[in-house]
Every structure is written in C-alpha cells, then in structure tokens.
Amino acid sequence: MTKITFIGAGSLVFTKNLVRDLLTFPAFEDCTIALMDIDSERLGFAKSMVEKIIAAGHYGATVEATTNRAEALTGADGVVTTILVGDLEVWRTDLEIPKKYGVDINIGDTRGPSGIFRFLRTLPAMMDICRDIECYCPDAIFLNYTNPMAMLCRAMQSESKLQVTGLCHSVQGTAAMLARWIGAPMNEITYRCAGINHQAFYLDYKWNNKDAYPLIREAVLKRPEIYNEEQVRNEMFLHLDYYVTESSGHNSEYNAWFRKRPDLIEKYCTHGTGWNPGEYAMTIKHAEERRVHWQQQMEEWRDSPIDLQRGEEYAAYIFDATIGSGNLFEFNGNVRNFGLIDNLPEGCCVEVPVLASKGGLSPIHVGPLPDQLALLVNTSARCEELAVEGALTGDPRKIFHAICFDPLTSAVLSLEEIKNMVDEMFAANREWLPQFKHLS
C-alpha cells in the first residue's frame, strides 16, 4: 500500500488541496496519508479535513496523524514539506529591520535580506528532515513547497542524495492568467518556461502553436484593467520582452526598479501588486489575522461542502507519474543547474522543465536565457549561491556579502548601512541560527 507523508501538515490549505488532488488518482484511492506537524491542534484539524475528503469521495484511503516525524516517514513512498520555522515575532524582524534602514520589502519570503534570514532559520530543520528521509524512506520522492524555495533546494540537493525538487504554483498560475487575458482556453496553450524560482520567464508562450506574445502585449497596452492587474510584471514585460512567473508583489522586491523611492512605490507597488496597499505592514497584518482567525476558518471549512475536483498543483501528478500509474508528467521544478541553463551559474538552483516518470525526475536542457534576462537572473542566483555557502559553513561574512549585492538593497543602502542592517538581523535571529556558532 502506497504511503504519502506530509511534513508540516498544519499548513492546512496546502494539506487539504494536495490530499484532495492525490486521491483523485486511482493509484492512490486506497493509500495511507501520514500527517505530521509539531502543532498538535493544527494537526488535529488537518486530520479531520482529510477524513472528510476521504468520506466525501468514498475512498479506501486511511489517514494517520502524529507529532513524531520518524513515525510519519517510515516506509513512505512520497514526502511533501510545507513547514514554517520561527514565530511571527522573529518573522516581523525580516521586514521591519530592513524597513528601518530604508529597504521597503513587500513579502520577504524568497530572497533579499528578508528571504536570506528566513532561509538561515529554515535550513537546519530542512536538513534534519532530509536526514530522517535518508534513514526511514531513502527512495521516496521528496517534494518541497517551503520557501525560500531556491536556496533550500540548492542546499538540500548538494548535501543529500535524495530525489528532491521544489514546487511553486506560479508557473501554471501565471500561464492561466495570461490565457485569460487573451481569451484562450488553457488546453490550447503551450509554453517553455525557465529561470530561477519566482524569476522564471516564458521563453515562448503559444496558442495553438502560434506565438501569443503579440496578443499579450496588445492586451497589456490597450486594456487598462489588465495593465493595472499586474503593474510591476507588466512593466517588466513591456521592457524586457518576456513575462515573469511570480506576482508583482514579489517581483517588486527582486530588482532595483520599483521600490527604491517612495514615488516609485506609490506609482507601481501600491495598487497593482495584489497586496494592496503593497507595503510590508499589510504582509504583517495578513499574517496576524491568519494566526488569530485560523481556527474559525477551519471550522467553516469543516462545515462546508467538499469540492473533490482535482486542482492544478503539481505534486499529485508527480506522485502519479513516479510511484503511481507511471503516466509521464512534465512540470517546472527546482533543480541544480548542471547543463540546463547555459548562462546561469553552474550548480545553482534553477527552475526548469522536469519530466516525472517511473525512472524518477529528469530535468530538461533549456539552453541560454536571452541576454537581458540572464543579467537580471544571474544577480539573484549568485547572491543565493553565496548565501547557501554561508549557511552551510556558518560564515556570517558570506551572508553579508550576499545581501550587499541584492538589487533592491544595493539600490538603497551604502555598504556600511548594509553591514549595520545585517548585524541587527543576526542579533534578532540569534536563537534560530545554531549553525553560526560565533553568535553568543
């Protein structure tokens, strides 16, 4: 009997949706779903949601819930991680300390000073999970949804021999958004997408095998409601000629063009990022509201009808291809760059097409990115490489240097100001960073 394990099952939206998707595949109708979380209350809600899905679908699956990771992983064929390390109070410092120095971050979970410190806190826990998988289910397919995606995957893939890749919904989500803009049915759209997580670009985007970029450009230029839906990304598209995968709120942080002055934040980041008013305070407010009201939301979900229709997240399709029916499935995953994108750093974490099959996960060669995209993406990829090296060696100097070259940070601060900011962020994170032994 197939066993799929969810580590961080208290990430209730992900758990609910991924389990729903998984059970729609015949190969998993009678599988064992093992849920693990350190929060027993959220774990109980997760178990009750999965039981409701099983009952509504008349599936033969069983569900187990435990706070013991070894128990959850023993004999697993597939593993999904959706963990969060650190409480809200330390997470606030990821945004508030840079803000104090003038670096206006919107979300802060992927790269830049906020993303790097989130990575430093999260990596020890993720490496512990890797070691447990190596011990209790070494042949499992391991799918990570935890951010910061690229740095975590890069570290795990270099420090373990597991079949691990990272997944993000932005590739298929943005592809569907663009199809909606031009009035195309999604089943008539094909695309080739590559780069790094949250900075991948559609190198081609076709409707019935015909280039659809002229239609997208026309929609962005001539329809204000479309331009205003994604102001940052649409500006990037109009000037860089290719569409980026992740939202305007995120992409406003990843470059030097949109958040370095108050007038630019007002013009591009306040109304069309999807995080209105597009400032860090809204991100914190959103997190606080979720923390306070999550039990009420769970009760509402538990009392509402179950939608059993399969969604578009990659995980269940990958498991079906690798440990289920064997039907081939191509997706965009996060893997190390060994001969995949010619003009990005060798060995860095890239997001490229990957073929899932009974043979495992096989990344597909893309070739070079267009020059203007390679310039942009190289900066982020090299900062991530330096941050990973610093995390694995416990070298705070490398962390400082990685943040020195972050595009938004370097557009706003001097080197001395960056050093002071990084020192303050290390102090705020001291108890979460055992790998940095010098921190007293």
Assigned token pair, 27: 């190969």
Same domain, 256 and 225: yes
Q: Last residue of a domain, which of 167, 196, 211?
A: 167
Same domain, 180 and 231: yes
Whether residue 286 is annotated as binding a ligand: the answer is no
Same domain, 58 and 184: no
Same domain, 215 and 82: no
Residues assigned a catalytic role: 169
Q: Last residue of a domain, which of 121, 139, 167?
A: 167
pLDDT in tens, the chain (440 residues): 899 999 998 888 889 999 999 999 999 999 999 999 999 988 999 999 999 999 999 999 999 999 999 999 999 999 999 998 987 788 889 999 999 999 999 889 999 999 999 999 999 999 999 999 999 999 999 999 999 999 999 999 999 999 999 999 899 999 999 999 999 999 999 999 999 999 999 999 999 999 999 999 999 999 999 999 999 999 999 999 999 999 999 999 999 999 999 999 999 998 765 554 445 555 566 666 666 666 676 677 767 788 899 998 999 999 999 999 999 999 999 999 999 999 999 999 999 999 999 999 999 999 999 999 999 999 999 999 999 999 999 999 999 999 999 999 999 999 999 999 999 999 999 999 988 876 64
The CATH number covering residue 22 comes to 3.40.50.720
Whether residue 168 is annotated as binding a ligand: the answer is yes
The CATH number covering residue 235 comes to 3.90.110.10
Same domain, 209 and 160: no
Same domain, 265 and 150: no
> Structurally, how many domains does the chain consist of?
2
Same domain, 92 and 129: no
Print the domain residue range for 98.
88-107+168-278+313-440
Same domain, 252 and 176: yes
Task: Determine the pLDDT at residue 294.
Answer: 63
